[in-house]
Amino acid sequence: MLSKKSVLGIAIGLVGVILGTFFLIQDLMSNVHEVNDVVDMGKSDIFSFDAEQHYHEFLNVTGNSFHVTLKTPKDGLQVDRDFTKNVSFDWYSLFNGKHFINITNTGGSILYVTGKLQAVTNPLIFTSHLIVISSGVLIIGISAAFSIRRPKGF
């Protein structure tokens, strides 16, 4: 027969395993980041991310006037210009590495930045999900062991 503390421990462990697994799967499936930003006058919007070769990137900027600095690895797309009204960038990464985009609002109106940026996920986030899953399994194991043979003091 399971005690109340054992059932509570198993339930907490199951919640940890379920949430860790859900967010791990979600993190593995989604590496496309939807961009939908508004940039006030005189402010900047900066994107810095790692992308692998053949990843598709799309960015659209709409506003009065703005400056765009876009740098991709090696001989890829390199932009450092002023634009007015609207500009769209649609490119595929030629090399693995860091992409840097800085959009500065230089006009008298708000900028609208939209697009999809495909990036490599951070390995630390992956590891943190595994730690949560492992902790849940450990809590379940300890709670189940307590129900079989209760140690002294519990």
What CATH code is carried by the domain that includes residue 46? 2.60.120.680
Residue 152: is its pLDDT beyond 70? no
Residues 25 and 42 in one domain: no
Rounded distance between C-alpha atoms, residue 25 and residue 27, angstroms: 5
Question: How many domains is the chain partitioned into structurally?
Answer: 2
Residues 24 and 57 in one domain: no
Of 91, 102, 95, the closest CA to residue 50 belongs to 95
CB atoms within 10 A of CB 133: 18
Residues 49 and 98 in one domain: yes
Rounded distance between C-alpha atoms, residue 94 and residue 92, angstroms: 6
Residues 48 and 109 in one domain: yes
Q: What is the pLDDT of residue 151?
A: 61
> What is the pLDDT confidence band of residue 150, given thresholds at 50, 70 and 90?
low
Q: What is the pLDDT of residue 2?
A: 72
Domain that holds residue 84: 32-120
Residues 114 and 131 in one domain: no
CB 46 within 8 A of CB 104: no
Rounded distance between C-alpha atoms, residue 54 and residue 38, angstroms: 28
Retrieve residue 72's tokens: 């991709």
Q: What is the pLDDT of residue 51?
A: 84
> What is the pLDDT confidence band of residue 19, given thresholds at 50, 70 and 90?
very high
Residues 75 and 110 in one domain: yes
Residues 85 and 97 in one domain: yes
**pLDDT tens digits for range 78-123:** 889 899 889 999 888 888 888 899 999 988 889 899 998 887 777 7
Handedness of CA 84, 37, 104, 50 (dihedral sign): negative
Q: What pTM, to 2 d.p., does this model score?
A: 0.63
CB 130 within 8 A of CB 24: yes
Residues 51 and 26 in one domain: no
Residues 109 and 56 in one domain: yes
Residues 111 and 38 in one domain: yes
What rounded mean pLDDT belongs to the chain? 86
Residues 3 and 14 in one domain: yes
Task: Please state, for a pLDDT cut of 70, what percent of the chain lies above it.
Answer: 95
Residues 27 and 37 in one domain: no
